[in-house]
Chains A and B, each alone.
Chain A
Amino acid sequence: MATDWTVRAITRAMMPVLLVLTLVEIGSGLVLGTFEADLLASPSLLVLVPVTIGTAGNLGSVLAARLSTAMHLGTLSFEPEDDVLQGNAVATLALALTVFPVIGAGAWALATVTVGSRLALSTVVVVAFVSGEVLAVLAVVVTAVATYTAYRFELDPDDVVIPVVTNACDVLGVVVLFLVVQILV
């Protein structure tokens, strides 16, 4: 199942996925471009953008790498009651609970120090926390589905799953953050 380590084999395994994901990310960029004025008006939210979508992608990619190796080693079964699957899902949610309040406070503090903040500290922390928990749940679902799909189609999850998960989280990150801001700010 593993890809041969030649430039041609790696490119053949990766390029189609990479180009499709690039198109998806351009979509994410167009959404971002649409709200450029809003983001520039609230510097704490602008600082929040890369770290929120990046952290969501990280939660997913750690999970994906762990599931991928477990799959290669043959210790993963794709049952909902599988211990490896459940334990990693719980850890992902707990990690999100830990880091997102810190992210909100950090973004607010950095924006305040560098360009000045328009929003209250509590607002930014709540926005980060709510976005983070929604994104953590989405990251678990997307990762489990993507790893299982790679398994069913006999693709190497190292080539496919991490890119799919990270990019899905990027796009979801922009959308979720935007929706949470619309509701809470």
Chain B
Amino acid sequence: MTVREVAVEAYREGLPALATSVLGGLLAGVVLGGMRSEFRLVPGLLVLVPALLATRGNVYGSLGARISTALHQGLVEPRIRGDDRLWRAIVAAIANGLVASLFAAAVAFLVLSWLGRPAAPLSVLLSVALLAGLLSGIALSLTVVVVVFAGYRRGHNPDTLVGPIVTTAGDVFGIAFLLLAVRVVLLAGGG
């Protein structure tokens, strides 16, 4: 293929998914703007936001890319049942996501304390990270598998779907479940 053909194909395949992710990103921005009272109640939460959102993108983006490449190579079939390898990949993704979320909460707490900037108690930040990570992990694993398989079966290139879908769903689920997790933790803690 010539440069022009490659570019035209990549552009055409990329635009629809990118447009979807723009909508998701704008939605996440609006929700973020509406979380100002939570940010005041839990100092350090805003510092945690990029790390938590990025963890979603990293872990489930990698899961999607792994499944996508395996489909291209014929190593997995686009079916959910009967393949232990697929389930092991999902369990690994969720476990890795939880470890990274807890690590982010602990590091954010330590750095903020060291800098003398306000930070909520470590237990609050860890609880929020754990709850948000678990809920968004389940939702994102399902989304990634369903979208990649459905796209592949309909003849789309899963490579072009994975990135935007994961970041869109990661932003929207990430922020929505973060909001839910903060509210649950504040309620449980009598906040």
Asked if B29 is at the interface of the complex by the 8 Å CB criterion, the answer is yes
Tell which of A95-103, A118-126, A145-153, A177-185 binds the partner.
A95-103
Q: Which A residues between 110 and 159 are near B, CB-CB below 8 angstroms?
A: 110-111, 114-115, 158-159
> What interface size band does chain A fall in?
35 or more
Binary flags per residue of B81-102, CB closer than 8 Å to A gives 1, else 0: 0000110110111011001100
Bound: A26/B117 CA distance, A: 14
Interface pair B46/A32, CB less than 8 Å apart:
yes
Bound: A87/B107 CA distance, A: 41
Q: Which B residues between 158 and 190 are near A, CB-CB below 8 angstroms?
A: 159-160, 162-164, 166-168, 171, 175
Partner of B96, one of A15, A26, A43, A83: A15
In the complex, what's the smallest C-beta–C-beta distance from A30 to chain B, in angstroms?
Answer: 6
Interface pair A87/B6, CB less than 8 Å apart:
yes
Binary flags per residue of B18-56, CB closer than 8 Å to A gives 1, else 0: 110110111011101110100100000011111101110
Main secondary structure, interface of B, reads helix
Asked if B108 is at the interface of the complex by the 8 Å CB criterion, the answer is yes
Contacts of A48 in B (CB 8 A): 29
Interface pair B108/A29, CB less than 8 Å apart:
yes
Known A-B contacts A14-B96, A29-B46, A174-B50; the reply to A22 vs B10 at CB < 8 A is no
A selection of 11 A-B contacts at a CB cut-off of 8 Å is A5-B85, A5-B86, A28-B51, A54-B21, A54-B28, A69-B72, A88-B10, A106-B26, A166-B57, A166-B163, A166-B167
Top 8 A-B pairs, shortest CB-CB distance: A87-B6, A51-B25, A61-B163, A91-B10, A47-B29, A25-B51, A29-B47, A10-B92
Please report B residues at the A interface, Cβ cutoff 8 Å: 1-11, 14-15, 17-19, 21-22, 24-26, 28-30, 32-34, 36, 39, 46-51, 53-55, 57-59, 61-62, 65-66, 68-69, 72-73, 75, 85-86, 88-89, 91-93, 95-96, 99-100, 103-104, 107-108, 111, 115, 117, 159-160, 162-164, 166-168, 171, 175
A sample of 9 more A-B contacts (CB under 8 A), given A18-B59, A68-B159, is A10-B89, A18-B100, A19-B100, A25-B51, A29-B47, A30-B111, A40-B36, A47-B33, A54-B24
